[in-house]
Chain A
Amino acid sequence: MRPFAYQRATDVPSAVAAGTGQAMYLGGGTNLVDLMRLGVATPEVLVDVTRVPFDTIEETPGGGLLIGAGVRNSDLAAHPLVLRNYPMLAQAVVAGGSGQIRNMATVAGNLLQRTRCSYFQDITKPCNKRVPGSGCPAREGDHRNLAILGHSEACVATHPSDMAVPLAALGAVVNVESSGGPRAIPMPGFHRLPGDAPERDTLLRPGDLVTAVELPALPFAARSRYRKVRDRASFAFAVVSVAAALDVADGVVRDCRIALGGVAHVPWRAERAEAALRGAPATAEEFARAAEAELAQASPLPRNAFKVPLARNVLVRTLLDLTAREDLTAAGDTGETS
């Protein structure tokens, strides 16, 4: 690990003031310390923001939630309003990492997780995300767990977060503070597709500090679920995941929110599927049609083509579960084998 100076911020202004140059903010450290140990991240200054008092969850006047950037995953998933109003978010959080990781990891850190692509994590190999212009070996090499949607010649990485998937579905807004003042960046859109600049995961600029994530009021999200498909039964990143909220009345889909994880450089908001579903009968056939509409854009690589039918099936199954079960206000049946 490269030597670095350590500073501890106690409020947002002092954090932003310290976060200049080659500084990085340290939250739970579950990803950043790992990357520093691997030599992938080499900050000159580490600004510890875990004492900044942005670790609360408050109801907003509009009926949404304002979640502080420093809220730990464990606290987020256990919060009664999250469990009641956004069950897919609680399900996604508890599906990620392990108990220890969830006790450490923060909301902001979750959004800013970097890809788990093997090449990105190995500093002895080329990677356009780590060393721009060095190349992408994953395209010809191992990419079983990598993107099928929205990737580029330069990068086929996926975003690893579970939490970000329901946040993208919900259209959460990321509040950011910087020396230039505050701004709000809505999801999806906070994360960016790789294009020819895969080194940039998000719209954040150097020195930007995420301070909170705001969830809009979305009453029908009380009927929502997150389904994570993974190789190991627990403590594994998603191969594919789906976050979905469905508003059905009289057998017709009035509204919906859908996002996919494990398929793209961003938590992938399934806008085409949503558009296909709005106003359509809540039937298996229509769900399948919507899934096809979304995945028609997929451009899988040779060794991850299985993700296309997998994502389709999981999306359809999740929507069917949401319509079939009346007792799913707070809990999803993740199936015996999940």
Chain B
Amino acid sequence: MRGPVRSEDNNGPGFPAPVTADIRLSVNGDEHPVTVDTRETLLDTLREHLGLTGAKKGCDHGQCGACTVLVDGRRAKACLTLTVTVDDREITTVEGLARDGVPHPLQAAFVEQDAFQCGYCTPGQLCSAVGMLAEFAAGWPSSVTLGAVSPGAVAPGVEGRPPLCDDEIRERMSGNLCRCGAYPNIVAAIRQVAP
């Protein structure tokens, strides 16, 4: 027999007051002084307080990638990042990818290849692709790198630098879900831009 689950089973006694912190947040090169609730995620700070709604909330649990931003150049999930933890980091969002009003080459490639439909996962796809290309250039392996995927493909081992084949792109971009099914066009757009 099991007893009913009560809300206090999941909660200590009493209702503690919110805790806030005054921090400076660096986003796309701009410093933003903000007072944040310690519970606030980077995603909610960007969207609700800084007016940067490019990063999207698709699941709020790190399971879809729509919130992907770059933290010190590395792609990360803004929905699982507490804002209070990144006051000394440099954040880049989709709004910061263009330079002097000129779209990033990936943004242009996404347009050309029709690499989106509803557009909701797109900012996350773009930030993820920027980070992914840097990871690949740095020689980081993926499941594809470490395992021959197609018959006849050569397992590259530690030293070899494989080309960024479509299987690599697919594997490395699989943390960004797209319900519209734009995957092949996203792969094509990234391939077009990849060195």
Direct touch of chains A and B (CB < 8 A):
yes
Given contacts A78-B140, A78-B141, A83-B141, whether A99 and B5 have CB atoms under 8 Å apart is no
Task: With A37-B60, A333-B147 as known contacts, state yes or no: A124 contacts B175, CB within 8 Å.
Answer: no
Q: Is the CB of B146 within 8 A of A29?
A: no
A50–B84 CA distance with the chains assembled, in angstroms: 12
The CB with the most chain B CB atoms within 10 A, among A26, A98, A336, is that of A98
Nearest chain-A residue to B41 (Cβ)? A33
CB of B16 closer than 8 Å to a CB of A: yes
A333, B77: Cβ atoms closer than 8 Å: no
Q: Could you tell me the distance in whole angstroms from the C-beta of A102 to the nearest C-beta in chain B?
A: 9
A273 contacts chain B at the CB level, 8 A cutoff: no
> Is A48's CB within 8 Å of the partner chain B?
yes
Binds A, one of B7-15, B45-53, B109-117: B7-15
Query: Is A34 a contact of B61 with CB atoms below 8 Å?
Result: yes
A90 touches B3 (CB 8 A): no
Beyond A4-B19, A42-B11, whether A331 also contacts B80 by CB under 8 A is: no
Is B108 an interface residue, CB under 8 A from the partner?
Answer: no
Q: Decide if B18 is an interface residue (CB 8 Å cutoff).
A: yes
Which B76-105 residues have a C-beta within 8 angstroms of A? 76-77, 80-82, 84-85
A335 to B132, CA, bound (A): 23
Chain A residues numbered 1-34 whose CB sits less than 8 Å from any CB in chain B: 1-6, 8, 22, 26, 28-30, 33-34
Whether the pair B155, A333 counts as a contact (CB closer than 8 A) is: yes
Is the pair B76, A336 in contact by a Cβ cutoff of 8 Å? no
Contact with A along B134-158 (1 / 0, CB 8 A): 0100111111011111110001111
Taking CB atoms and an 8 Å cut-off, the chain A residues in 213-246 that contact chain B are 233-235
Judged by a CB distance under 8 angstroms, whether A288 is at the interface is: no
A123 cross-chain contacts in B, Cβ below 8 A: 5, 9-10
| Complex contact A6–B131 (CB within 8 A) | no
A100 engages B77 (CB within 8 Å): yes
**A81–B148 Cα gap in the complex (Å)?**
21
B158 touches which one: A4, A80, A233, A332 (CB < 8 A)?
A: A80
Check A318 for interface membership: any CB of B closer than 8 A. no
Interface: A250 (CB within 8 A): no
Chain B residues, Cβ within 8 Å of A97? 175
Partner of B38, one of A6, A37, A78: A6
Would B12 and A100 count as touching, CB distance under 8 A?
no
Given contacts A3-B16, A327-B155, A334-B143, contact A30 B62 (CB under 8 A): yes
CA distance A211 to B189 in the complex (A): 42
CB of B174 within 8 A of CB of A234, answer yes
B16 and A94 form a contact (CB under 8 A) = no
Q: Is A57 an interface residue (CB 8 A)?
A: no
Minimal Cβ-Cβ distance residue in A for B139: A78
Whether A134 contacts B5 by the Cβ 8 Å rule is yes
Q: Are B16 and A44 in touch, CB under 8 angstroms?
A: yes
Which of A125-133, A187-195, A259-267, A303-311 lies at the interface? A125-133
> CB distance B65 to A100 under 8 Å?
yes
Within 8 A of A (CB), among B152-189: 155-158, 170-177
Q: Which residues of A contact B62 (CB under 8 A)?
A: 30, 33-34, 100-101
A15 → chain B closest CB, angstroms: 14
Q: Are the C-beta atoms of A234 and B147 separated by less than 8 Å?
A: no
B122 within 8 Å of A (CB atoms): no
Q: What are some 16 contacts across the A-B interface (CB < 8 A)?
A: A3-B16, A3-B19, A3-B39, A4-B16, A26-B85, A28-B80, A33-B81, A74-B135, A94-B145, A125-B5, A131-B5, A137-B2, A330-B155, A331-B148, A333-B147, A335-B147
Binding site for A on B (CB under 8 A): 1-3, 5, 9-12, 16-19, 21, 37-39, 41, 60-62, 65, 68, 74-77, 80-82, 84-85, 128, 131-132, 135, 138-143, 145-151, 155-158, 170-177
The 7 A-B pairs at the shortest CB distance, nearest first, are namely A98-B175, A135-B2, A334-B147, A234-B174, A331-B155, A123-B10, A1-B39
